[in-house]
Amino acid sequence: LAVVLYQVQSVTDKLQPRRLRAGLFTNDGELISDQHELAFDFDSINPRDRELPVRFILSRKADDANNQQVVLRLEERVDDTTHFREYKAMRYTIRRSFTSEFDF
């Protein structure tokens, strides 16, 4: 699943970069994709230069979430710990078609 994330403002002396972890989750909080560590540290004034494409690989558990809402969750690390807290979450509906490669 490919998505493009966008950093709204450029990094400056006053606006610091942010590192986030991203993944897709069911409404019950179960991870159904791989997770990515992302750096939002773009200092360009050109908005296109602040786009970050991400490709999630869905797990087999994602099949159970077909035609259901899932959550793309961005999390940030709690300072000086291994724990993360939710930064932002966006809801999507997964609609996957299942076809055989050998249908004639």
Whole-number mean pLDDT of the chain? 93
Task: Look at residues 11, 22, 1, 4 and name the one whose alpha carbon lies nearest to residue 93.
Answer: 1
| Closest to 20 (Cα-Cα) out of 48, 54, 46 | 54
Instruction: For residues 78 and 21, give the distance between their C-alpha atoms in angstroms, rounded to a whole number.
Output: 12
Q: What's the pTM value of the predicted model, to 2 decimals?
A: 0.85
Q: Are 23 and 53 in contact (CB under 8 A)?
A: no
pLDDT digits (tens, 9 = 90+) for 27-58: 999 999 999 999 999 999 999 999 999 999 99
Find out whether 32 and 65 touch, Cβ atoms under 8 Å: yes
pLDDT band at 97 (very low <50, low <70, confident <90, very high): confident
Residue 102's pLDDT band (boundaries 50, 70, 90)? low
Domains in the chain with CATH codes:
2-93 (2.60.40)
- Say what percent of the chain tops pLDDT 90: 88
